[in-house]
Chain A
């Protein structure tokens, strides 16, 4: 049975993790700084409520698909952490779901990742699961 944790301002439902696979690692701090531009309140909620591991994981764009964007990490992202004020901290897996937009050289949204020259992400929501339910 999955354990759900309620966090103020974070909408949670019964979860089926979209994140069973990780493709590339990145710095949690760098990720949060980037995502705070699109959703500062949600990022601050994460910072205030959780002790987060320094490493995050994300999907990755491959060189065979788009050399110019190769190595770029994209969502959904996975973090490990623990509820800060818990007296018996449980290892959590926190998934950050983002909305992505790939744009071409003219700045127009494109459905082709291969021909895109940039990608922007907006943090939409987070999902929290106990690590024992995910891994």
Chain B
């Protein structure tokens, strides 16, 4: 007379068997929280076992599985796995020796964010978009005044691309004093610039149409996602962040200048509710 637990991964609301990253969950110790529901069918003496509640343990200290309600008339119940462990998670029944061998291995990797994301876009300023006289910037020579010192230029944005294609960044933003209205710097002689190898995000260089700014409590830094729809953007990596990027919001880096933003808008612009798949590190 055999006893057994058969496990089947339930289909999620996205129509497949991947785990879900719950809306209310946050990144902890650099890991997202996976939630995966399984159907468990319990038999005892070759018959469905109803009214049964079984405890489980899961390999890994950041993981647990719990049965949601006792088994029904068919011996079935939902088993909910919650884990931060990428890769194999082994679920093992506890307490009832007859089920001790009824283990189940689940491999966690890609997953769906339960919550949709807002997707906006940002660029870095491009000297080609500016006008005005050429003035000297410390360490970088002559450039358009507003590009260096204007309220839309490097002193506000941090980094810009010069007309020679070189990236310029400000090194001492705390020394900058702004005129009333913040349209221009009051003390340009105090500003020190330097050339840069690109636009540096919080976690590395940002690349057009590849990097996104993220809330690190939602997506771990440098981890990858696939932005599926309603307009597919494809694979992106969390290379940047900022205090204004909160919650389920990605700010998509489009490159330098107005043309990059125009291209973003021409392709459909912001997404208010994007479906996002987590891909991992």
Main secondary structure of the interface of B (DSSP, over half): mixed
* Inter-chain contact B177/A112, CB cutoff 8 Å: yes
Q: In the complex, how many residues of chain B place their beta carbon closer than 8 angstroms to a beta carbon of chain A? A: 50
**Is B169 among interface residues, defined by CB-CB distance under 8 A?**
yes
Given contacts A24-B121, A114-B174, contact A60 B157 (CB under 8 A): yes
**Is B223 among interface residues, defined by CB-CB distance under 8 A?**
no
* Inter-chain contact A23/B122, CB cutoff 8 Å: yes
* Inter-chain contact B258/A22, CB cutoff 8 Å: yes
B120 to chain A, nearest CB (A): 5
* Residues of A contacting B118 in the complex (Cβ-Cβ under 8 angstroms): 27
Binary interface profile of B, 185-205, with partner A (CB < 8 Å = 1, else 0)? 010000000000000111000
* Residues of B contacting A25 in the complex (Cβ-Cβ under 8 angstroms): 120-122, 261, 264-265, 269-270
Main secondary structure of the interface of A (DSSP, over half): loop
CB-nearest residue of chain B relative to A27? B270
Q: In the complex, how many residues of chain A place their beta carbon closer than 8 angstroms to a beta carbon of chain B? A: 36
**Is B114 among interface residues, defined by CB-CB distance under 8 A?**
no
Binary interface profile of B, 121-148, with partner A (CB < 8 Å = 1, else 0)? 1111110011100000000000000000
Within 8 A of B (CB), among A58-75: 59-74
Given contacts A23-B122, A27-B270, A113-B173, contact A59 B244 (CB under 8 A): no
* Inter-chain contact B123/A23, CB cutoff 8 Å: yes
Q: CA A63 – CA B243 in complex, angstroms?
A: 9
* Inter-chain contact B186/A64, CB cutoff 8 Å: no
Q: CA A134 – CA B12 in complex, angstroms?
A: 48
22 A-B contacts (beta carbon < 8 Å): A20-B129, A21-B126, A23-B123, A23-B124, A25-B122, A27-B272, A53-B269, A55-B270, A57-B261, A57-B265, A62-B156, A62-B158, A63-B242, A65-B170, A69-B244, A70-B244, A71-B245, A71-B251, A72-B244, A73-B244, A100-B182, A114-B174
